[in-house]
């Protein structure tokens, strides 16, 4: 299986996902600025992977701090976390991981700063290891919505490349494959940055999963033909009422699934559930550069002065969601009550 992110000898190694699928290049990240840049430019992307990268970014950002008393060290640490938190606004895992790092530092404030740095390095490693275990459980739980012979439609990339291993939406597919089930996948290409075409098609191909790539505007036809048994997608933030922000286009896929009576599932770790965000309306949606739409991957496809709207995510209302597959089980409506129970 691919290794999306690896920490070794004080450096973070990631697959540069902007170059996939033609070039599979691993790059070393050595500074917090490089980490910020990798997250912002989607060299590392997908909610859980962003959280893991940010945790390592903290480790890089504090490594050379000279402060020896806790208060001045913590002030500098906060500058690092604030900087990293400004890289992308929507995926809550980023903020979750940075908060966890800050909290760990505070819990150990009586210890010497050099020891706290080591503790934080171990905390980042734990965040990554836990994510692997969580994704494995999502796979196990999500396999209950599949059976041998099922065909799944997915949008964007919520696979190995978006996490430390297995993925979220793709984890049930890998799990089912391990059981010897024959599962087919239709992958939406996912305009404008083609995470479905460049990443999902790539990683499923690498894993010898039967995957068919379609453009986003083909999903309705494929559903109408009766070829899709279930839709599973990932998530960037789940609000307390069950509304879900995920890659732009997800809402449309959910509406299509509803129209064709196909169950529409979200898969994600509990670290993507944000009970402090009441509804989807409160989720900040990232807007990205106009160039991604008029000049994707260097080829101009629209007049350079045309008006452009480029939101990276949309919100799917909870009414359209059959269930949210987490490491703790599948949560179903009423989401406002049942999501809360996960944290009791």
Binding-site residue numbers for substrate are 45-47, 88, 195, 246-247
Based on the shown chain and the rule CB under 6 A, indicate whether residue 256 belongs to the binding site for ligand MRU. Answer: no
CB 163 within 8 A of CB 48: yes
Smallest CA-to-CA distance from 254 within 267, 262, 184, 332 is with 262
How many CA atoms lie within 13 Å of 223's alpha carbon, on the beta-carbon side? 24
DSSP letters, 211-268, are: EEEE-GGGHHHHHHTT--SEEEE--SEEETTS-EEEETTHHHHHHHHHHTT--EEEE-
CA 282 – CA 303 distance, rounded (Å): 33
Based on the shown chain and the rule CB under 6 A, indicate whether residue 47 belongs to the binding site for ligand MRU. Answer: yes
Among 113, 201, 235, 238, binds ligand MRU (CB under 6 A): 235
Q: Which residues are CB-neighbours of 221 under 8 A, at least 6 positions away?
A: none
Based on the shown chain and the rule CB under 6 A, indicate whether residue 188 belongs to the binding site for ligand MRU. Answer: no
Based on the shown chain and the rule CB under 6 A, indicate whether residue 158 belongs to the binding site for ligand MRU. Answer: yes
Based on the shown chain and the rule CB under 6 A, indicate whether residue 48 belongs to the binding site for ligand MRU. Answer: yes
Based on the shown chain and the rule CB under 6 A, indicate whether residue 87 belongs to the binding site for ligand MRU. Answer: no
Q: Select from 53-61, 116-124, 159-167, 255-263 the region that touches ligand MRU (CB under 6 A).
A: 159-167
Smaller CB separation from ligand MRU, 29 or 120: 29
Smaller CB separation from ligand MRU, 163 or 241: 163
Smaller CB separation from ligand MRU, 124 or 138: 138
Based on the shown chain and the rule CB under 6 A, indicate whether residue 54 belongs to the binding site for ligand MRU. Answer: no
Among 163, 164, 200, 241, binds ligand MRU (CB under 6 A): 163
Binding residues: 45-47, 88, 195, 246-247
CB of 6 to ligand MRU, least distance (A): 18
By beta carbon distance, the residue nearest ligand MRU is 234
CA triple 166-100-66, angle to 5 deg: 115
CB of 119 to ligand MRU, least distance (A): 27
Backbone angles phi, psi at 228, to 5 degrees: -110, 125
CB of 43 to ligand MRU, least distance (A): 11
CA 96 – CA 191 distance, rounded (Å): 28
CB of 190 to ligand MRU, least distance (A): 8
CB of 288 to ligand MRU, least distance (A): 8
Query: Would you state the structure tokens that stand for residue 240, as one six-digit string?
Result: 């307390």
- Active site residues per annotation: 236
CA 249 – CA 270 distance, rounded (Å): 23
Based on the shown chain and the rule CB under 6 A, indicate whether residue 81 belongs to the binding site for ligand MRU. Answer: no
Based on the shown chain and the rule CB under 6 A, indicate whether residue 234 belongs to the binding site for ligand MRU. Answer: yes
Instruction: Identify the bridge partners of residue 238 per DSSP, sorted by sequence position.
Output: 244, 273
CA 63 – CA 61 distance, rounded (Å): 6
Among 5, 12, 15, 46, binds ligand MRU (CB under 6 A): 46
Q: How many residues does the chain have?
A: 344
Based on the shown chain and the rule CB under 6 A, indicate whether residue 137 belongs to the binding site for ligand MRU. Answer: no
Positions of E strands within the chain: 5-8, 11-15, 26-29, 151-154, 184-188, 210-214, 230-233, 237-239, 244-247, 264-267, 273-274, 313-316, 323-326, 329-331
Backbone angles phi, psi at 330, to 5 degrees: -95, 120
Based on the shown chain and the rule CB under 6 A, indicate whether residue 209 belongs to the binding site for ligand MRU. Answer: no
- Tokens 């606004």 sit at which residue? 89
CB of 257 to ligand MRU, least distance (A): 16
Based on the shown chain and the rule CB under 6 A, indicate whether residue 164 belongs to the binding site for ligand MRU. Answer: no
What residues make contact with ligand MRU under the rule CB under 6 A? Answer: 42, 45-48, 91, 156, 158, 162-163, 167-168, 195, 234-236, 246-247, 312
């Amino acid at each position: 299986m691919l290794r999306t992110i690896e920490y070794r000898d004080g450096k973070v190694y990631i697959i540069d996902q902007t170059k996939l699928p033609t070039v599979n290049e691993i790059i070393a990240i050595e500074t917090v600025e490089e980490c910020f840049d990798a997250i912002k430019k989607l060299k590392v992307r997908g909610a859980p992977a962003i959280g893991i990268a940010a945790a390592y970014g903290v480790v890089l950002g504090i490594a050379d701090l000279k402060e020896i008393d806790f208060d001045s060290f913590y002030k500098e640490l906060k500058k690092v976390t604030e900087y990293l938190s400004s890289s992308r606004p929507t995926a809550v895992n980023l903020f979750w991981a940075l908060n966890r790092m800050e909290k760990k530092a505070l819990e150990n404030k009586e210890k010497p700063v050099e020891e706290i740095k080591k503790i934080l390095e171990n905390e980042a490693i734990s965040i990554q290891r836990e994510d692997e275990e969580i994704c494995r459980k999502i796979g196990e739980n999500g396999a209950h919505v599949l059976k041998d012979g099922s065909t799944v439609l997915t949008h964007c990339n919520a696979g190995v490349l978006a996490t430390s291993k297995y993925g979220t939406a793709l984890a049930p597919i890998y799990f089912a494959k391990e059981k010897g089930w024959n599962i087919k996948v239709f992958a939406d290409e996912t305009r404008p940055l083609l995470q479905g075409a460049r990443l999902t098609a790539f990683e499923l191909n690498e894993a010898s999963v039967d995957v068919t790539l379609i453009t986003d505007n083909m999903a309705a036809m494929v559903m109408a033909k009766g070829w899709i048994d279930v839709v599973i997608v990932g998530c960037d933030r789940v609000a307390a009422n069950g509304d879900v922000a995920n890659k732009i286009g997800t809402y449309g896929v959910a509406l299509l699934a509803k129209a064709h009576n196909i169950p529409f599932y979200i898969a994600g770790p509990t670290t993507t559930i944000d009970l402090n965000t009441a509804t989807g309306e409160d989720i900040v949606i990232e807007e990205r550069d106009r160039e991604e739409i008029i000049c994707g991957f260097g080829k101009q496809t629209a007049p350079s002065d045309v008006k452009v709207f480029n939101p990276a995510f949309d919100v799917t209302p909870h009414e359209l969601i059959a269930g949210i597959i987490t490491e703790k089980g599948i949560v179903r409506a009423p989401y406002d009550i049942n999501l809360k129970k996960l944290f009791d």
